[in-house]
């Protein structure tokens, strides 16, 4: 039975990294006879240029009918000054997350041992790191209403957003996190700002309530400012972290650096049935776009997550992850993870090396 995989290259380094992931997917497709049918659509700035909209109707329809989606990244300076905030590349990405109800964002920060000294942190702080950030992805301050910029008395402009979660939204992401913790080391840390924000007082209450359903999982709570500090002080104290949309966005970029580079952090964004979109956690990196410097491994590892979570192809996913490890063993490094004695390679040389390692 064939499976439709939709590729959304997007902007900046997006097309460069997605074409490396495509090579890898084509290779496992042939090797394991997966029956994947790959197609592509426009999203983000590329879609604005082609159609005037960051999420064209045909792209949304293709997302809905695909079995799984792999995204590069969207955004860039070309579109940052668009006076109409609705016509920004990022709106396209947020639109897919929201339309497909991809509320469960899994961001695993795993340090490949070969990169222990590529991290900016001391080797003993990060070696053996394997944590999972579960980020709520379709609610919170990203989507809360009202929002906008208005004029108040005296002609003073004020910008405003609303940080809101209802208990059902909290419960469903809580369950994703408890289940993930149960399948790992049974330690869940819920990150909030319950000392200041009522919305996260409710968040904490619901997490406590869920604990009764998961007596085998140890639940702790931490304020987000402390969590940011603890992540760089002693990240291995964590197993699974669950948090809201914006805190999760910020903490996962910090966690990415523990793995050596933001170019190493993949993600899965899942709906309640396990259908998902997969993407690296980083952005479109306009500063290095078009130079062959981007690390494609986060995208390639996202493709592995896609095979595992949405396409039930764990063996092919394992093969990709092992191939990545083998390439790192060979000493091949894109500039972001380069260290003394290693061989610098370009984006496409890295993709080719993963394909070769699969053979």
**Residue 271 CB, nearest distance to ligand NAD (Å)?**
18
Q: Is there a binding annotation on residue 225?
A: yes
- 288: partner contacted, choices ligand IPM, Mn ion, ligand NAD, none (Cβ within 5-8 A by kind): ligand NAD
Exactly one of 285, 320, 328, 353 binds ligand NAD (CB under 6 A); which one?
A: 285
Give yes or no for a contact between 239 and 186, defined as CB atoms under 8 angstroms apart. yes
Q: What is the dihedral of CA 269, 42, 299, 142, to 10 degrees?
A: -40
Nearer to ligand NAD, 131 or 288 (CB): 288
- 324: partner contacted, choices Mn ion, ligand NAD, ligand IPM, none (Cβ within 5-8 A by kind): none
Size of the site for Mn ion (CB under 5 A): 1
Strands 187-192 and 332-333: unpaired
Binding flag, residue 251, ligand IPM (CB under 6 A): no
Give yes or no for a contact between 285 and 256, defined as CB atoms under 8 angstroms apart. no
Distance CA 5, CA 3 (A): 6
Q: What is the CA radius of gyration of the chain?
A: 20
Distance CA 343, CA 339 (A): 9
Nearer to ligand NAD, 46 or 194 (CB): 46
Q: Could you confirm whether 225 is annotated as catalytic?
A: yes
**Residue 312 CB, nearest distance to ligand IPM (Å)?**
25
Q: In this structure, what DSSP letter does residue 173 have?
A: H
Binding flag, residue 286, ligand NAD (CB under 6 A): yes
Give yes or no for a contact between 109 and 256, defined as CB atoms under 8 angstroms apart. yes
Q: Could you confirm whether 142 is annotated as catalytic?
A: yes
Strands 240-243 and 218-223: unpaired
Give yes or no for a contact between 335 and 346, defined as CB atoms under 8 angstroms apart. no
Exactly one of 22, 24, 46, 90 binds ligand NAD (CB under 6 A); which one?
A: 90
- 36: partner contacted, choices ligand NAD, ligand IPM, Mn ion, none (Cβ within 5-8 A by kind): none
Binding flag, residue 283, ligand NAD (CB under 6 A): yes
Q: Is there a binding annotation on residue 183?
A: no
Binding flag, residue 279, Mn ion (CB under 5 A): no
Of residues 64 through 123, those in contact with ligand IPM by CB under 6 A are 75, 90, 93-94
Give yes or no for a contact between 248 and 133, defined as CB atoms under 8 angstroms apart. yes
DSSP 3-state assignment of 160? strand
Strands 104-110 and 130-136: antiparallel
- 336: partner contacted, choices ligand IPM, Mn ion, ligand NAD, none (Cβ within 5-8 A by kind): ligand NAD
Closest C-alpha among 253, 328, 335 to residue 288: 335
Question: Would you tell me which residues interact with Mn ion (CB under 5 A)?
Answer: 249
Q: Which residues make up each annotated binding site for substrate?
A: 97, 107, 135, 225
Interface positions with ligand IPM (CB under 6 A): 75, 90, 93-94, 249, 281, 283
Q: Could you tell me which residues are annotated as the binding site?
A: 97, 107, 135, 225, 249, 253, 283-295
């Amino acid at each position: 039975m064939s499976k439709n995989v939709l590729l959304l290259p997007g902007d900046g380094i997006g097309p460069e990294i997605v074409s490396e992931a495509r090579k890898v997917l084509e290779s496992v497709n042939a090797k394991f006879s997966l029956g994947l049918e790959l197609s592509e659509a426009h999203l983000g700035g590329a879609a604005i240029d082609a159609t005037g909209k960051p999420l064209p109707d045909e792209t949304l329809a293709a997302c809905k009918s695909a079995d799984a989606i792999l995204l590069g990244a969207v955004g860039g300076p070309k579109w940052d000054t668009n006076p109409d905030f609705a016509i920004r590349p990022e709106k396209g990405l947020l639109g897919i997350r929201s339309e497909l109800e991809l509320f469960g964002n899994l961001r695993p920060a795993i340090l490949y041992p070969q990169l222990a000294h590529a991290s900016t942190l001391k080797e003993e702080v990060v070696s053996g790191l394997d944590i999972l950030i579960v980020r709520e992805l379709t609610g919170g301050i990203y989507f809360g209403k009202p929002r906008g910029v208005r004029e108040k008395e005296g002609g003073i402009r004020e910008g405003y957003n609303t940080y809101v979660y209802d208990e059902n939204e909290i419960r469903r992401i809580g369950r994703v996190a408890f289940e993930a913790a149960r399948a790992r080391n049974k330690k869940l840390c819920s990150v909030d700002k319950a000392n200041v924000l009522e919305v996260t007082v409710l968040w904490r209450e619901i997490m406590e309530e869920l604990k009764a359903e998961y007596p085998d999982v140890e639940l702790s709570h931490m304020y987000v400012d402390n969590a940011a500090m603890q992540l760089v002080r002693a990240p291995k104290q964590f197993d699974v972290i669950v948090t809201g949309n914006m805190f999760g966005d910020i903490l996962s970029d910090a966690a990415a650096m523990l793995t050596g580079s933001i170019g190493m952090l993949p993600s899965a964004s899942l709906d309640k049935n396990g259908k998902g979109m997969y993407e690296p956690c980083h952005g479109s990196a306009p500063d290095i776009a078009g130079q062959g410097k981007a690390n494609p491994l986060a995208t390639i590892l996202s493709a592995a997550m896609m095979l595992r979570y949405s396409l039930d192809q764990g063996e092919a996913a394992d093969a990709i992850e092992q191939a990545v490890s083998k390439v790192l063993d060979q000493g091949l490094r894109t500039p972001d993870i380069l260290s003394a004695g290693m061989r610098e390679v370009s984006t496409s040389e890295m993709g080719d090396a993963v394909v070769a390692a699969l053979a």
